[in-house]
């Protein structure tokens, strides 16, 4: 029977570390979003990185909706709508989070790595 | 040596299998009860059409409850009670009568810190307006006389408000109740794993799990002073989770923060703490108790949590711009504080 060589041992260690590392990277790191998509009447009207600071104004069904992307967060900072649910939603940053303005038919989505996370946000 | 290779390969296989997720996630968002709502279903093989139908049924239930319990419309059951305050006895649904009785029970337990008759004061502050105003002292004195849950008379399915101008406001309990009812509908339709989120009032239903005994769902608690950041997290199974914070529906005037969690005894926003998160067996209890404990404040609030069966909580307060927090005994070692 052949003896295991030093090269084999190094290979085993490298494969092991890569497997364990990818497991922890995928499952334990916070899923910060990376992309912002703004939809008007279910059609995408803006797509950009969450890391690029920017102000975007959308002409919604009811009036203007001003979206601000700043420091990895996104918020609707102004909306011409009656109840301002979208503005009060505040700043969002995690993949899967959304900000919705029903009267204007505008949805701001944060996308990131596709994951089947079981997660809720309170507060 | 062969044993060494065997162990290594076993570990690789273990970690590979752990990273494979068996459940698919279906999620949709909308708005209801003046806030956002999302329903997420986790299932191994439900079709998109079936998932859509299930989510629609949950949304419909939430909208049905909104139509009964909103005080923004004079045509809802609560709206009709308010319009007829001091005039007529109103016949209401058994569902609303039971929710009112439940809210009175929270009022009794807290000596009035939770009180759905706070409606006239909440209306005067009008935190949903784009320019909310501080009510004058004289107006506040008058409005405070209209507050008192004992002046809401519920007999069977009939209700009467004792004085003209009284108003019921279910803002501290109805969202949690709607979450529970939405979950009930989903359960009845065979859903075994779901999270319903109505403005941060969370209902987690995960078949076979219970509250902090399990750790299937990660709950992130928003930071009270840093928008887009989290104060910490905890893992739970089936339960309700709710947070009341002075950063939600608030405005700042002359350096003073005015927020929507009103102390019924004073008519002004409760001041002692900045955020309260409650974990309870159901979302309605979590919703009501997060408001109730917020109003009671740090010491009395924690006492209340400790004596309430199946209830755990996190209370955050601020001293000289520095946040401190206290956990109830059952949360010790289970709440992970985030880096600021």
Domains of chain B, residue spans: 72-161, 200-337
The packing angle between helices B48-69 and B174-188, to 10°, is: 150
What's the rounded Cα separation, in Å, for the pair B239 and A75?
A: 29
What are residue B202's phi and psi, to 5 degrees?
Answer: -105, 140
pTM for the model: 0.83
Q: Write out the H or E segment, with its range, that includes residue B147.
A: none
Q: How does pLDDT run across B80-90, given as a tens digit for each residue?
A: 999 999 999 99
> Are both A55 and A95 inside the same structural domain?
yes
Looking at per-residue pLDDT, the higher value among B1 and B175 belongs to B175
Q: How does pLDDT run across B215-257, given as a tens digit for each residue?
A: 999 999 999 999 888 999 999 999 999 999 999 888 888 889 9
> Are both A41 and A14 inside the same structural domain?
no
Task: Retrieve residue B1's tokens.
Answer: 């040596």
Task: For residue B230, give the nearest of A59, A94, A2, A52 by alpha carbon.
Answer: A94
Count of the separate structural domains present in chain A: 2
> Are both A40 and A65 inside the same structural domain?
yes
Distance from CA of A103 to the nearest CA of B (A): 10
Asked if residue A72 belongs to a domain, the reply is yes
Q: How does pLDDT run across B131-156, given as a tens digit for each residue?
A: 888 999 999 999 999 999 999 999 99
ipTM comes to: 0.86
> Are both A3 and A47 inside the same structural domain?
no
Report CB contact under 8 Å: A116, B24: yes
Give the pLDDT confidence score for residue A27 in this predicted structure: 42
CATH of B72-161, picked from 1.10.3980.10, 2.160.20.10, 2.60.40.10, 1.10.10.60, is: 1.10.3980.10
Residue-range definition of the domain harbouring residue A93: 35-111
Asked if residue A70 belongs to a domain, the reply is yes
Asked if residue A116 belongs to a domain, the reply is no
> Are both A42 and A24 inside the same structural domain?
no
What residues have CB less than 8 Å from A82, skipping those under 6 apart?
A103
Looking at per-residue pLDDT, the higher value among B21 and B260 belongs to B260
Task: For residue A92, give the nearest of A114, A113, A115, A68 by alpha carbon.
Answer: A68
Q: Write out the H or E segment, with its range, that includes residue B102.
A: helix B94-109
> Are both A39 and A24 inside the same structural domain?
no
Pairing of strands B217-222, A119-122: parallel
Chain A hits for B18, CB-CB cut-off 8 Å, are: 23, 27
Distance from CA of B18 to the nearest CA of A (A): 8
Chain B hits for A50, CB-CB cut-off 8 Å, are: none
Residue B236's DSSP bridge partners are B217
What's the rounded Cα separation, in Å, for the pair B333 and A78?
A: 41
Across chain B, mean pLDDT equals 93
CATH of B200-337, picked from 3.10.520.10, 3.40.50.300, 3.40.190.10, 3.30.1120.10, is: 3.10.520.10
DSSP string covering B264-320: TTTSSB--S-SEEEEEESSHHHHHHHHHHHHHH-HHHHHHHHHHSTT-EEEEEEEET
- CATH number of the domain to which A70 belongs: 2.60.320.10
Q: What is the largest CA-CA distance in chain B?
A: 89
Looking at per-residue pLDDT, the higher value among B316 and A24 belongs to B316
What's the rounded Cα separation, in Å, for the pair A19 and B9?
A: 10
Give the pLDDT confidence score for residue B179 in this predicted structure: 98
CB-facing half-sphere around the CA of A19: CA atoms within 13 A:
18
The label of the residue with tokens 């709950």 reads B219
Can you tell me the mean pLDDT for A50-70? 93
DSSP string covering B45-77: S--HHHHHHHHHHHHHHHHHHHHHH-SS-TTSH
Q: How does pLDDT run across B80-134, given as a tens digit for each residue?
A: 999 999 999 999 999 999 999 999 999 999 999 999 999 999 999 998 787 888 9
Residue A19 clears pLDDT 70, i.e. is over it: no
DSSP character for B215? -
Report CB contact under 8 Å: A122, B222: yes
> Are both A19 and A40 inside the same structural domain?
no
Give the pLDDT confidence score for residue A17 in this predicted structure: 73
């Amino acid at each position: 029977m052949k003896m295991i060589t030093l090269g084999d041992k190094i290979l085993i260690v490298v494969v092991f570390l890569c497997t364990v590392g990818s497991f922890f990277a995928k499952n334990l790191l916070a899923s910060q979003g990376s992309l912002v998509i703004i939809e008007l009447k279910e059609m995408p009207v803006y797509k950009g990185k969450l890391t690029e600071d920017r102000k975007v104004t959308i002409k919604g069904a009811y009036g203007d909706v001003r979206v601000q992307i700043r420091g990895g967060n996104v918020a609707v900072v102004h909306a011409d709508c009656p109840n301002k649910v979208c503005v009060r939603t505040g700043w969002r940053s995690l993949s899967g989070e959304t900000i919705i303005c029903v009267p204007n038919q505008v949805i701001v989505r944060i996308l990131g790595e596709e994951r089947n996370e079981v997660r809720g946000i309170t507060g | 040596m062969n044993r060494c290779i065997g162990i290594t390969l076993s570990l690789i296989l273990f970690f590979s299998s752990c990273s494979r997720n068996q459940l698919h996630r279906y999620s949709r968002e909308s708005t209801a009860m003046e806030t956002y709502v999302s329903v997420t279903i986790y299932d191994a093989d439900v079709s998109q059409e079936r998932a859509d139908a299930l989510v629609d049924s949950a949304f419909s239930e939430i909208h049905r409850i909104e139509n009964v319990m909103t005080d923004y419309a004079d045509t809802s059951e609560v709206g009709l009670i308010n319009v007829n305050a001091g005039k007529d006895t109103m016949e209401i649904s058994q569902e609303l009568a039971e929710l009112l009785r439940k809210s009175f029970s929270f009022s009794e337990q807290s000596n009035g810190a939770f009180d759905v008759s706070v409606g006239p004061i909440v209306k005067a502050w009008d935190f949903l307006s784009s320019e909310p105003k501080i009510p004058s002292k004289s107006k506040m004195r008058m409005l405070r006389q209209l507050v008192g849950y004992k002046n809401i008379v519920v007999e069977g399915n009939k209700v009467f408000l004792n004085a003209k101008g009284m108003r019921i406001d279910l803002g501290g309990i109805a969202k949690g109740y709607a979450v529970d009812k939405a979950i009930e509908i989903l359960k009845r339709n065979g859903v075994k794993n779901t999270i319903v989120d109505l403005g941060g009032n969370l209902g987690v239903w995960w078949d076979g799990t219970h509250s902090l005994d399990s750790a299937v769902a990660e709950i992130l608690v928003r930071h009270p002073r840093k928008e887009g950041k989290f104060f910490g997290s905890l893992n739970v199974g089936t339960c309700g989770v709710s947070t009341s914070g002075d950063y939600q529906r608030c405005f700042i005037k002359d350096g003073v923060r005015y927020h929507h969690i009103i102390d019924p005894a004073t008519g002004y926003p409760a001041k002692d703490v900045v955020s309260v998160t409650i974990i309870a067996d159901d979302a309605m209890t979590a919703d009501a108790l997060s408001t109730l404990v917020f109003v009671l404040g740090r010491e009395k609030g924690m006492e209340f949590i400790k004596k309430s069966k199946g209830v755990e909580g996190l209370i955050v307060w601020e001293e000289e711009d520095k946040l401190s927090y206290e956990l109830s005994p059952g949360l010790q070692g289970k709440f992970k504080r985030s880096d600021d």
